[in-house]
Structure formats: C-alpha cells, structure tokens
Amino acid sequence: MKVWLLLGLLLLHEALEDVTGQHLPKNKRPKEPGENRIKPTNKKVKPKIPKIKDRDSANSAPKTQSIMMQVLDKGRFQKPAATLSLLAGQTVELRCKGSRIGWSYPAYLDTFKDSRLSVKQNERYGQLTLVNSTSADTGEFSCWVQLCSGYICRKDEAKRGSTYIFFTEKGELFVPSPSYFDVVYLNPDRQAVVPCRVTVLSAKVTLHREFPAKEIPANGTDIVYDMKRGFVYLQPHSEHQGVVYCRAEAGGRSQISVKYQLLYVAVPSGPPSTTILASSNKVKSGDDISVLCTVLGEPDVEVEFTWIFPGQKDERPVTIQDTWRLIHRGLGHTTRISQSVITVEDFETIDAGYYICTAQNLQGQTTVATTVEFS
C-alpha cells in the first residue's frame, strides 16, 4: 500500500513540473497568485550625511582654564568671582595650581615692599597671602602658570586666574592716593586715565571740572568710566585740559577725590627729538668749552644721555650735568625739556674733535654730533 502511495506522489510532482516549467523547491509549498508582489511605497528616506569634525574650530584658541582658588575659613575652598567685596582688615589667601606660578597684584604693595604681603611657591601650587588689608589694597589680583626653558619663562595664557577685590573701609569711598594733587598727561595718540577708583562696588561716581564748575559727562564716546581704572579719555585733546576731581556716592555718604591737573602733551611719542649746540666751534688754548644736548619730549617720559668726546681715551676730566623741566608752549600744550651739558675747562689740543651725544627713552634713541676745532 505504501509503495503505491509513493508512486502516486512522484507522478503528481512530475505533472506539476510539466505545467509550470519550474522545479518546485523541496519542503516548500507553492505560492498563491499575488502572494509575492512588492507593494509600492511613497516613504521618503533622507540620505545620511557623515558628521565631519571642524578642524579649524578644534585648533582655535584654547579655552582658558581658571587655576585660582580662594581659601576660606576652616580649610574650605572656592573659585573666586570676577569681583569680590571684603571688609578691610580681613586676611586674603589665594592659591593657584602649578609648580611655577607668576603673580600680579596692586602696585601699591610692591612700591612700599609691604610686609603684609607674602608670596610663596609650594610643590603643587603658588600661594599669596595678604593680612591686615586696607582700602589702599583694592585692585586686581591675578596668577598664571609659567612655562620655563632654562632661565627663560613665558606665561601660559590658557592657565591663569584673576579676581578684582574691593576692600571696603569706613570713611573711604575712594582708593587712597599718596598725594593730594596729581598730574595726568593727555597725549593725542593714546588713552589717558584719571585714576579715581572706588572701594565700594555699588558706588556712583561722577567726574567734575573745578573751573568753570561743572560735571563732565562720561558719554561712552569721548570719556568712559571703568571701575578698575577710573575715568578713561579715549581720544584726549587740548580742550580736556584743566583741573578735575571725582565725586562718589554710596549708602547715603558722599566723598570727593584728590584733584588732577590734566596737561596736554605737545610732542608725539617716539624716539627723542634731539639737538646739539657748542658754545663755540673754534676754541683757543686755555679757554673753557660747553656742549649742550637738548631733547623735547613727553612730560612723563624720562631721557638718559651718554657722551663720547675726544679726550675720553686719555681720561680727560670733564663735567657732565643733566637737568629737565616742564615748559608750556602756548594753547596749554606742555612739553618736557631734558638737557645734558658737557663742560671742558682749559681747552687743549686733545680736546679738539667730535662731541657725540646719544639720547635714549623707552621708544628708542637718537645720536647727534658737533665738532670743536682748536684755534
């Protein structure tokens, strides 16, 4: 019976192959008509775009990492804010992470070599401590990591920290000044600052002219107020000169600052403008001779003089005298005149020749010369 059943299935299989012309896969049933159709779809597929890292942004200026911490009581630490308000008398301790730390703090503390200030370098951090603080200590405290190669060091601009500290003291709205009157030079090619800084962050500060008496507005165009610097003249000119002072108001109290004399500078910045003149270019034996070297410059720029003269190798005795003074050159323009005079007494043949004067300031140097002959 089983043999006949198997023969029947084989015959049925061959019959189906003859009709379709295809071999039926083993162990699979025939598909119904329409069963294998692919249905169309309207679904939109967005192409995937690979993300590319912006190399330029990755290589742009590195972010600054703040390395400064303020030490509080009971060994607690916190990152100091951009500005701090503390009562005078408090102790301030700042630490900056790094094995070589550089510090900057108000120049007042350096000028007087104040023993209240201590700066130490530990193995892993730098430490600045200020005790018995006063309103005069108000200012910027900053630190930075030093990158050193041998004896040459530079700042690591990416690792630094800073805070501006207001030390509030009763009766002192302004940071004290060492004098009752100060001079501010107005140079046409750079900013000028009237340094009336306050010790109270919330203080309202105004600028005033003494004569004619009036308030000078800080309009943000010609003059701006910077709490860390004072009133800044952005483009000084001769009309700004005169005597001014500042007025501060806070907590129902008011105070007037020291007075500032604003002087307009007539000479632009640069290497010294130098001239040389001899009392006589032909000298007889036994006479005295003087050679004058003169520089006209900015009122607050010092000038150094050096001389080369004929009898120098023979150690000829001479007298050299340097002086300076401020002069007014009309329209309120102020100039510093610096002079150096070399004097030779009892003129001899070895004194004849070139007298060379070199004048130097922070911006460069100028050399001039004149000849003195033996008559």
Domains, the chain, ordered by start: 68-168 (2.60.40.10), 181-264 (2.60.40.10), 273-374 (2.60.40.10)
> In this model, does residue 145 exceed pLDDT 50?
yes
Mean pLDDT for the stretch of residues 332-344: 85
331 neighbors 242 (Cβ within 8 angstroms): no
271 neighbors 366 (Cβ within 8 angstroms): yes
**How much is the pLDDT for 32?**
55
Give residue 132's pLDDT band: very low, low, confident or very high (50, 70, 90). Answer: very high
**How much is the pLDDT for 157?**
85
> In this model, does residue 26 exceed pLDDT 60?
no
More confident residue, 48 or 83: 83
- Sign of dihedral through CA atoms 306, 310, 313, 319? negative
More confident residue, 263 or 354: 354
More confident residue, 30 or 339: 339
**How much is the pLDDT for 120?**
93
Give residue 42's pLDDT band: very low, low, confident or very high (50, 70, 90). Answer: low
More confident residue, 99 or 29: 99
> In this model, does residue 331 exceed pLDDT 50?
no
Distance, CA of 244 to CA of 225 (rounded, Å):
14
Give residue 15's pLDDT band: very low, low, confident or very high (50, 70, 90). Answer: low
**How much is the pLDDT for 60?**
53
Mean pLDDT for the stretch of residues 194-208: 93
**How much is the pLDDT for 219?**
85
Distance, CA of 107 to CA of 126 (rounded, Å):
19
The neighbouring-strand residues paired with 336 are 297, 326
More confident residue, 269 or 66: 66
Report residue 221 as tokens. Answer: 């165009």
Helix (H, G, I), strand (E, B) or coil at 266: coil
Distance, CA of 85 to CA of 92 (rounded, Å):
11
Mean pLDDT for the stretch of residues 329-336: 63
Give the DSSP letter string of 87-148: ETT--EEEEEESSSEEEE--HHHHHTT-TTEEEEE-SSEEEEEE-S--GGG-EEEEEEEEEE
- Which of 28-37, 107-116, 214-223, 297-306 shows the lowest per-residue confidence on average (mean pLDDT)? 28-37
- Sign of dihedral through CA atoms 106, 148, 150, 59? negative
More confident residue, 281 or 9: 281
- Which of 39-43, 155-159, 194-198, 229-233 shows the lowest per-residue confidence on average (mean pLDDT)? 39-43
**How much is the pLDDT for 58?**
46
**How much is the pLDDT for 297?**
81
Give residue 320's pLDDT band: very low, low, confident or very high (50, 70, 90). Answer: very high
> In this model, does residue 16 exceed pLDDT 60?
no
For residue 184, count CB atoms less than 10 angstroms from its CB and return exposed for 0-12, middle for 13-18, buried for 19 or more. buried
- Residue 67 sits at the vertex; the CA angle it makes with 62 and 70, to the nearest 5 degrees, is 150
> Average per-residue pLDDT in the chain?
83
Distance of CA 340 to the CA centre of its chain: 35
Look up the pTM and report it. 0.60
**How much is the pLDDT for 333?**
62
- Which of 47-61, 173-187, 247-261, 327-341 shows the lowest per-residue confidence on average (mean pLDDT)? 47-61
Helix (H, G, I), strand (E, B) or coil at 167: strand
> In this model, does residue 352 exceed pLDDT 90?
yes
Give residue 19's pLDDT band: very low, low, confident or very high (50, 70, 90). Answer: very low
Unique residue bearing structure tokens 């501010």: 184
205 neighbors 198 (Cβ within 8 angstroms): yes
> In this model, does residue 45 exceed pLDDT 60?
no
Cis bond before residue 212 (omega within 30° of 0):
yes
> In this model, does residue 30 exceed pLDDT 80?
no
Residue 27 Rama label (left phi>0; alpha psi -120 to 50; beta): left
Task: Report which residue type is found at 27.
Answer: N
